Chain A
Amino acid sequence: MTTLQAPPGRPGPNVKEEQPYVDTAPNRHTALWLAVTVAVWVVGWLIFRGQDTRTLSFQDLNGFHRWLNDLRDSIQLASSRGNWFFHGVIGNISAFFNWLVGQLQELVSTPAFPRPVPQIGWLGVLALLAWVAYAVAGVRSAALVLLSVLGFGFLGYWGDSIDTLIITVLAVLICCLIGLPLGIAMARRKAVSVAVTPVLDLMQTMPAFAYLAPLALIFGIGASSAVVCTLIYALPPLVRITEHGIRSVPETTLEAAGSLGVTKQQMLRRVQLPMARRTIVVGINQCTMAALSMATIAAFVNSPGLGKPVIAALQSLDVGGAAVSGFCIVIAAIMLDRTTTAASERAEKLNRGALASVSRPGVMLMTVVLEKLPRWATEEQRGRRPLPSPLFRRAVLALTFIPVLVAILLSRQYLSLATFSSSANVGPRIATAVSDLTDTVVNSVDTFTNAFKNVISYGLLNPLQSLLGEAPWWLMAAVLISVAFFLGGWRPAAVTVVCEAVILGTGLWHDAMVTLTMTLVATVMVMVLAMLLGVWMGRSRPADTVVRPVLDTFQTIPPFVYLVPALALFSSSRFTAIVAAMAYAVPIATKLVADGIRGVSPSTVEAARSAGITSRQMIMKVQLPMAREALVLATNQGLLYVLSMVVIGGMVGGGSLGYLVVSGFSQAQLFGKGIAAGIAITALGVMLDRITRYAAARHGRI
């Protein structure tokens, strides 16, 4: 590669990064072998095209799907006939959650019959939330909460927003009850960690829709299903970060404490937990963000909350409605994120440390969660002032609670303080403006966007789909195994074999290949955009300052919301699904690329610049090669993000596995097939993750 002289390195652990890239690894001829694989593949495809493709048409079922259908029927029968488990245990849990959420709703968001308004009106809720934020996170957070909650009212989604908060907070509380002890147990006992980690991997790779249908079956539609599925989705980050936090308490500290003769209990309570406290709060923060995004999707099982208007907008192609309700979700996300972050009283330094140390092979989607923090909303005070005495603080809290009580009482007395005035509601006006704007834009660019769609569809998507989908399954299986082997060695190849067996077992091989095609095309497009944006951001501070908030916003908006404009622009097609996946995956990939480029040591860049190279050469020969690890990681994350959008893409014409999952959710005879499709997506995800992780480990290190 380059023949640049390494400048004298700084001392310390960074010294390794200072060295120019030298290919010291055994020369494996990876490129040559991959070329051979592709050649064999194309030749095999030409000969055997259309044979053994394992295509299963939409309505056809195999034995496995029918077995799942029968299983569903017997569960339903069991719960209606008073089976002790499904009717007794699950039925009561479900009834309890429904009751609890119902009570909370009547308290703060929906009319508490026979009252025409909730027990506590908007003024009381507003004051109470702001006060809680002040108590746990400080005065700035209280101001943010105040503004955000007022925003819900002004945008016209008061009740839905508060419902979303109810579900999110409830799920997070239960997550803490389960997740903290589990994380601690995992940190203290290797066996627990080994047993639980794969389950967590599975929970994070399985598309949410795949477990939505069985959950609705068992828990019934409504709030309880919503709480449970939010729980499943939000638990893994909390458990993982808790485990990580306790594990990273320095060995020397433990030894020092041990030499003082503390018991295991004391060690945990007095040493490990306090030292890991900040990391654990990061975990709670991540858990909250995940819960919020899932609480939206839970509207598919009739969960109360902001997901409802978003889905309604999707069904009526109402871009404006989707924008306003989506904006409420963004507000809620920023509010929760900033308050939990401020509550943890620590700077982002710690975050970065956690990011670097958990993004290793085997921790799937970890960086995903950790990167999802919009930092720009509020920064709590950096320079610490001396803290007031605890007594003084408590006195202040008690005093400030008096106006809160007054507000609650007033909101019970006066109708105008109980229901948010509809004359203050600017939501519909914004919605109309957004819709009109979109209509104008769509009408003026739709010939262009359709042409672009056709170029990608006919030029890239269709040929590749034919190559993957119309090759015999055994050829494709062999191709994937050899790609895994040449890129990452025998381990990912072995994982690939297992995953292929699972996909074959689900009977959805052909659909899986179509999904794989779309995933690959989307990932290529994501990486092209991420490289362009990321290099720009990595090289220019002002660019970073401008672009990063946009990326943050895209990461905060639930993916549903941008389906609506994507549909308006490209109508229902595979390309629309790809665009939606890109909108979801580009931010994370771009950030990783930008961080990688910025991470190239300044002295190397300086040395190259003094050698008189052009900026083009600088990018191509110095910065990109040196940021290889970040690029591979970005590809890995891009792939997984794209794959997690497969199901949602199925709603806008993505077809194949994603569509099967969606259909399985809404058509009785496709229930089993939908679950099978969910399993196939999970298998694809594990396979792609392992291949890219091991490829990163082998080729990414400098």
Chain B
Amino acid sequence: MKTGMTRGPRRLRLAAIAATAALVLAGCGGSNIKQTKTSSAGGKSCGELNIAVNPWTGYETNAHLIGYVAETKLGCKVNYQDVKEEVGWQGMANGTIDTIVENWGHADLVKKYITQQKTVEDAGPTGSKGIIGWYVPPWMAQKYPDITSWKSLNKYASMFKTSESGGKGQLLDGDPSYVTNDEALVKNLNLNYKVVTGGSEAALIQSFRSAEKNKTPLLAYFYEPQWFFSEVKLVKVNLPRYKPGCDANPAKVACDYPPYKLNKLISKKFADSGSPAVKLVKGFKISNDDQNLVSTDIAEKKMDPDAAAKKWVEANPAKVSAWLK
């Protein structure tokens, strides 16, 4: 017993000493592994680039396209940070994130971080156009042609009932962090529906896929650019037309989502750092179709995002060199 008691700490101490020795040795040991990457672009070296990655495939595409080019052409060390949209803004404000590469509006955050705190800057449009709305699978639009107008939604509400919708029709939403006015829309348009959360982009896609396959009714929140449209051509339900300012008060919204000009954001700190990646982020542009191409590779063909980015970058050298000009 006595030896057992004293032996432990001593052993621990010895272990600690040895571990430290190992680390010191590791520090000064010679290395034959070639230090591969050096900055090829002249001028200031790139250093680290922290890109926020929001949870949808289209975003992932943008992030890895920029990341791949930054790594291979500018010699940056790219860190992908998996965060939700608002957390990404917060991260730019406190300096842990350098850029958001597909931003959907967020007027309240623009006001807070860009106008008031001045910790975030707009880095120009991505060139893709964003659409948010309510969609039904194609078979429904064929069978019930008038379903594409919000006015007839109440007529069909009973069809969309599920165990989760409390006797009303179900409107399926995506990730809790997505931009949505759906609760307010249902209330203000007096629709007999309940918003039920699906949880993620994949859950929405899965639901649409099985709804189309089994010809079951489904009404869900969705968005473009979106690779899934090339697999199933979903049909958008028309809500009351958007007019500028009709969505000013989030609780009183009774109109469709605005057409989004998606843009990029960079933190003030990163913008002032002089990193060559700032120019890349500002110059980055991609069309909906190009983004969908890469997204299909990632989501449908399960390619590694970096490999998918590499494939597109190598196939489109002209577009890529335009980003760096």
Interface residues of A, Cβ cutoff 8 Å to B: 57-60, 73, 76-77, 79-80, 98, 107, 111, 113-117, 119-120, 124, 128, 131-132, 135-136, 216-217, 220-222, 274, 277, 299, 301-302, 308, 311-312, 314-318, 343, 345, 387, 390, 393-394, 397-398, 401, 404-405, 408-409, 412-415, 418, 453-454, 457-458, 461-462, 567, 571-575, 651-653, 655, 659, 662-663, 665-669
Contacts and interface: CB of A to CB of B under 8 A. Distances in A.
Contact of A59 (B36, B203, B250): B250
9 contacts: A80-B93, A315-B201, A317-B206, A412-B33, A457-B163, A572-B199, A655-B197, A659-B176, A663-B176
A216 B96 CA distance: 11
A136 B203 CA distance: 46
Contacts of A412: 26, 29-33
Interface of B: 3-8, 10-12, 14-15, 18-19, 21-23, 25-27, 29-38, 48, 55, 77, 81-87, 90-91, 93-97, 108-109, 112, 117, 119, 162-164, 166, 172, 175-177, 183-184, 187, 195-203, 206-207, 250-251, 299
The 4 closest A-B pairs by CB, nearest first: A666-B177, A457-B163, A135-B15, A666-B84
A572 B206 CA distance: 11
Contacts of B201: 315-316
Contact of A60 (B14, B35, B93, B251): B251
Interface centre among B6, B18, B177 (most CB of A within 10 A): B18
Contact of B33 (A117, A312, A315, A667): A117
Contacts of A316: 200-202, 299
A434 B84 CA distance: 28
B68 to A, nearest CB: 16
A669 B250 contact: yes
Contacts of B91: 220-221, 302
B164 A135 contact: no
B11 A668 contact: no
A668 B105 CA distance: 14
B207 to A, nearest CB: 7
Contacts of B84: 665-666
Contacts of A107: 23, 26
Contact of B94 (A80, A393, A651): A80
Nearest to A303: B82
B96 A317 contact: no
Contacts of A408: 22, 25-26, 29
Contact of B87 (A221, A308, A387, A398): A221
A119 B203 contact: no
Nearest to B183: A58
A124 B22 CA distance: 9
A651 B199 contact: yes
Given A136-B15, A404-B22, A653-B164, A390 B198 contact: no
B231 to A, nearest CB: 15
B11 A397 contact: yes
A343 B4 CA distance: 11
Contact of B198 (A277, A299, A653, A663): A653
Contact of A572 (B55, B203, B251): B203
A409 B163 contact: no
B77 A113 contact: yes
A387 B4 contact: yes
Contacts of B11: 135-136, 393, 397
Given A120-B26, A397-B11, A216 B90 contact: yes
Contacts of A394: 10, 14
A81 to B, nearest CB: 9
Given A217-B90, A393-B11, A667-B177, A653 B22 contact: no
Contacts of A571: 198, 203, 206-207
Contacts of A669: 108, 250
Interface centre among B12, B27, B91, B96 (most CB of A within 10 A): B96
A301 B77 CA distance: 21
Contact of A457 (B85, B108, B164): B164
A394 B183 CA distance: 68
A653 B163 CA distance: 11
Nearest to B31: A412
Given A221-B97, A409-B25, A409-B29, 15 more contacts: A59-B184, A114-B37, A116-B36, A220-B96, A222-B81, A222-B96, A315-B175, A315-B200, A387-B4, A397-B15, A412-B32, A462-B163, A573-B162, A666-B176, A667-B86
A128 B163 contact: no
Contacts of B119: 80
A216 to B, nearest CB: 7
